[in-house]
Amino acid sequence: MIKGGFPVRYLGVLLINKRLIVVDCEGLVAKFTSRIDSWCAKHLSFAGRLQLISLVLFSHQVFWSSIFILPKAVIRLLEQKLNRFLWGGSNENAKAKVAWEKVCVPKKEGGLRFKRLNVWNQAAMLRHIWNLFAQAGSLWVAWVDQNWLKGRSFWQIPVPQSCSWSWKQILKLREVAKRFLKFKVGDGNRIFLWLDDWQLDGCLLDKYGYRVVYDAGSSIDAKLSTIICNGEWYWPYARSDRIDDIQSKLLEVEIGNSDFPIWRRKKGRYTCAETWDA
């Protein structure tokens, strides 16, 4: 048997154990270039080029964006190609009449509502965080839960020095993901009392600070199930006004049958389009 090594190609993208660099994305850039070159021989109207960018060119990077945080240089290069094709068509020397960031603003603000690739990339990567909380059942979710989380909260684990570059990039998205993730309360076994967003005022640690954990005689990794008994709220004791304030608001939170995450969008679950729109 021949021993292999990284990088290897799988489903059209590279599997790597290091930071993604520009040269690793040559396949993606080549797809953009070849597609644009094939259209440049045709006499396309501005409206035709607009539709091709929205429906065809943009789709080429969707798969990559859902797997990797793309290098800024690659995103800049792709957007330059899109903008040049939009305004110049077959004329490679044509200058863009409007900057790409202004082209991408909503139509009511004078733009064409194209998607900025870096924002779409970020929205697409949030799917991985949603899958962790939704316990999607994939091998990757099981591996991360076993090797990196180990029963700890996703919001509090440190960034390991030995982890992959991709996992580090996912951890950098935690503050963005917090805007979208909350929990519906059930038995409390999946929810972290202080670290998850499960009540009307959001995360308790963010609202009251670390002092409230000490006042409650609790630990930072305590689960919500520690204050639920027989389907009702039960807080053993209180040491401060902060705890009294929390207890007074518990009755506003309904206890269901089981814990489940909610994505703060219309459907209550993650979709890339709604997340990007937000």
The string of DSSP letters for 110-128 reads: TS--PPPHHHHHHHHHHHH
The string of DSSP letters for 43-80 reads: ---HHHHHHHIIIIIHHHTHHHHTT----HHHHHHHHH
Smallest CA-to-CA distance from 261 within 187, 198, 171 is with: 198
Judge whether 261 and 182 are in contact, CB under 8 Å: yes
Give 162-200 as a 3 state SS string: CCCHHHHHHHCCHHHHHCCEEEECCCCCCCECCCCCCCC
In order along its 278 residues, the chain shows pLDDT tens digits of 677 766 666 666 677 667 788 888 888 888 888 888 888 757 788 888 888 898 888 888 888 888 888 999 999 999 998 998 888 876 666 677 888 899 898 888 888 888 899 999 999 999 999 999 998 888 989 999 999 999 999 999 998 888 888 889 999 999 999 999 999 999 999 999 999 999 988 999 999 999 999 888 899 999 999 999 998 999 877 778 888 889 888 989 999 989 999 999 988 999 999 999 89
Tokens of 94: 């044509």
Domain ranges in the chain are 14-121, 122-179, 181-260
CA 145 to chain centre: 17
Question: Left, alpha or beta for 95 (phi > 0: left; psi -120 to 50: alpha)?
Answer: beta
Residues 6+ apart with CB under 8 A from 115: 58, 104, 276
